[in-house]
Amino acid sequence: MMELSETVVLSTRVRLARNFAAYPFPHRLFDEAVARTVIRTVYDALSGLDDFTLYRLAETDDETIKRLLENNLISPALLSHKSIAAAIVNAEETVSVMVNEEDHLREQCILPGSNVWGCYELLSGIDDEISKSAVLAYDEHFGYLTACPTNIGTGLRCSLMLFLPALTKNGLIPSLKEKMSRLGMVLRGAHGEGSEASGFLYQLSIEVTLGVSEMKILSEVNNVALKIIQFEGEERQNLFAADSLSLQDSALRAFGILTHCVLLSYEEMISLMADLKLGVALGIVKGDVPALEDLSGAMLDTNLVMREGKPLTERELKTKRAHYVKSALQDIIG
């Protein structure tokens, strides 16, 4: 059976907000020449580190923008400054620096599993490199200065993507949310409030940025993650003890549909995947939860389009998805 933590924390995201000291914040940045300087400076600073791709949004086609959005490499807010905005993304697409979003720079790293330290190490290296090339807005008292005072100080935000089927089914999410908020953290449905029921996916994030060091924040998130992993693990055992037959039934039923359907919408896939992932997590079905999660991501409309290299109709998307899922599951599920 797989390591429990890998089946509970699916991915980790850390971001740092930074600004150039010399220029107005992006919502007041009307000089496009200055905006270009910001983009160029950051891109040049990063080029020495890794193989980064620069996307100037004004020159990027809609399909690519949609793909960057769906893979969380850019945010919807970046699009509202399209004429001055850019994204600088590494080859593995684990690190992206959004330029001229709410702040001049939003440096972010997303890695699979529970890996706050890994994310921060990668990001910190990038941040150091940028600090060498630009004077960043920093104040002895208030720390890194950001357009919105909610981000001043470390400018750091850390969030985890959690798969919590047992806590959801056993009705324990409301009390967990309350506990988290007492710790200064927020637990919410990964795709907005009320989205929990379909995929059992949640986002846990910590909001404080002033007066608490990066290390302390990351270490708190890490410790809370360990507790949630344990909690979810216990509830999975309870769930299994209470009615293993139903769980087996749902998991195999989901597997049956996913490997035999011909038309598959993204929403239906997510909900079936949730049952299958729970079955895998409980050891009812042999498989790999992170691989199933990767497969779900790859089955987003835009990723299917990129894979095919041409636009697809609604119906083509559904047939391609059904086809890929079927063949991928034969490899993932043993």
Contacting residues toward other proteins, per CB under 8 A: 3, 19, 21, 23-25, 27-28, 102, 117, 124, 127-128, 131-132, 135-145, 147-150, 152-154, 156, 184, 208-216, 218-219, 222
In the bound state with other proteins, the residue whose beta carbon lies nearer, of 116 and 258, is 116
In the bound state with other proteins, the residue whose beta carbon lies nearer, of 4 and 257, is 4
Give Rg (Cα) of the chain.
21
Q: Which two tokens stand for residue 317?
A: 């998307």
Task: Tell me how far, at minimum, the Cβ of 114 lies from other proteins, in Å.
Answer: 9
Distance, in Å, from the CA atom of 205 to the CA atom of 226, rounded to the nearest integer, reads 14
Task: Tell me how far, at minimum, the Cβ of 202 lies from other proteins, in Å.
Answer: 22
Distance, in Å, from the CA atom of 121 to the CA atom of 205, rounded to the nearest integer, reads 19
Task: Please name the amino acid found at residue 143.
Answer: G
The separation between CA 30 and the C-alpha centre of its own chain, rounded to angstroms, equals: 31
In the bound state with other proteins, the residue whose beta carbon lies nearer, of 214 and 275, is 214
Q: How far is CA 132 from CA 52, 142, 154, in A?
A: 18, 21, 18
Distance, in Å, from the CA atom of 150 to the CA atom of 136, rounded to the nearest integer, reads 18
Are 334 and 286 in contact by the 8 Å Cβ rule? The answer is yes
Task: Tell me how far, at minimum, the Cβ of 146 lies from other proteins, in Å.
Answer: 8
In the bound state with other proteins, the residue whose beta carbon lies nearer, of 218 and 304, is 218
In the bound state with other proteins, the residue whose beta carbon lies nearer, of 208 and 270, is 208
Task: Tell me how far, at minimum, the Cβ of 160 lies from other proteins, in Å.
Answer: 15
Task: Tell me how far, at minimum, the Cβ of 211 lies from other proteins, in Å.
Answer: 2
In the bound state with other proteins, the residue whose beta carbon lies nearer, of 68 and 217, is 217
Task: Tell me how far, at minimum, the Cβ of 284 lies from other proteins, in Å.
Answer: 24
The residues near 93 (Cβ < 8 Å, ≥ 6 apart) are 71, 73
Helix ranges (DSSP H) in 165-213: 165-169, 173-182, 196-199
Distance, in Å, from the CA atom of 183 to the CA atom of 198, rounded to the nearest integer, reads 27
In the bound state with other proteins, the residue whose beta carbon lies nearer, of 28 and 310, is 28
Task: Tell me how far, at minimum, the Cβ of 207 lies from other proteins, in Å.
Answer: 9
Distance, in Å, from the CA atom of 73 to the CA atom of 97, rounded to the nearest integer, reads 8
Are 88 and 97 in contact by the 8 Å Cβ rule? The answer is yes
